[in-house]
Amino acid sequence: MSIKAILFDHDGTLVDSEPAHFRLWKQVLADYGVDLGEQQYADYYAGVPSHANALDMISRFSIDESPEALVRQKALAVGEFLSREAFPPMPGALQIVRRFHALGLRLAIVTGSESAVAMATTRTYSLQPLFETIVAGNHVQRNKPHPDGYLLAMQRLGVTADECLAIEDTEHGLNAATAAGIPCLAVPNAMSMHHDFSGAAGTFCGLAEVERWIEENHLDCR
C-alpha cells in the first residue's frame, strides 16, 4: 500500500506537552481546593481534550463551576506558558517530519487542542512550511475520540483513508483515527502507556521506529 499522507497528533506525539498540561491543570484546580495527582492525570486526563477533562473534573471533584470556565482558565494558563517557552519536541519528532516532507508525503496535524497551541510548535521549530493543514479542536463540532478532526483533515488534503496513516500517543486519539477509517500507529508515552492500543496498526517505542517502519512497509515514493 502506498501512503500519500501522514496525519500527526500534536500533544504527546510531536511535543512532550503532557507533563506541562498536568502542571497547568494542577494549577487551575488548586484554586478550587483540588490537589490533582500525576497518576490521576495519567489515568483520566492525558490526551483528552480540555472540555471533556473539565466535565469529568467537575463531576469527580465536586467543583462548583461551569466546564466553560475551567476550559477558559486552562487556556489562559497554556497561553501564558507558551508566551514564555514552547513545548519541547518528542525525540525524533523534527527528524520524522522533515524526512517525510522530503519524501514528498503530505503532512497534517490533527489535534484536540486549540489551533494556537499547534501553531506555536510549528512556528518555534520552523515547521510551518512542512504541514499543509492543522485541524484543531476548535475547528470541529466534536473533538477526539470522535473522527471529525481526521475527516476534516482528509477533506482538506483531498485524500482517502486508505491513503493515510495516523500517528497517535493515546487511546482517545487512536479511536478518533480508526473511527475515520485511518490505520493508526501508536507511540505510547509515560502518561499513556497503560491505554488500550489493541486497535492500532502497530505500537512503537518511539518516532524513530515509526519512521523506519513506514519507509520499509508503506512507501513507493522513494
Residues 23-58 have pLDDT tens digits of 999 999 999 999 999 999 999 998 888 999 999 999
Q: In this predicted structure, what is the pLDDT of residue 162?
A: 96
Non-local CB neighbours of 191 within 8 Å, separated by 6+ positions: 12, 18, 19, 22, 41, 42, 46, 47
Confidence of residue 15 (pLDDT cuts 50, 70, 90): very high
Instruction: Give me the active site residues, please.
Output: 9
Judge contact between 29 and 19, C-beta under 8 A. Answer: no
pTM for the predicted model, two decimal places: 0.88
Q: Flag whether pLDDT at 222 surpasses 80.
A: no
Q: In this predicted structure, what is the pLDDT of residue 220?
A: 59
Measured between alpha carbons, how far is residue 94 from residues 59, 130, 158, 181, 194 in Å?
39, 11, 25, 26, 26
Instruction: State which amino acid sits at residue 159.
Output: V
Judge contact between 137 and 47, C-beta under 8 A. Answer: no
Confidence of residue 221 (pLDDT cuts 50, 70, 90): very low
Q: In this predicted structure, what is the pLDDT of residue 133?
A: 98
Non-local CB neighbours of 129 within 8 Å, separated by 6+ positions: none
Q: What average pLDDT does this structure show over 97-118? A: 95
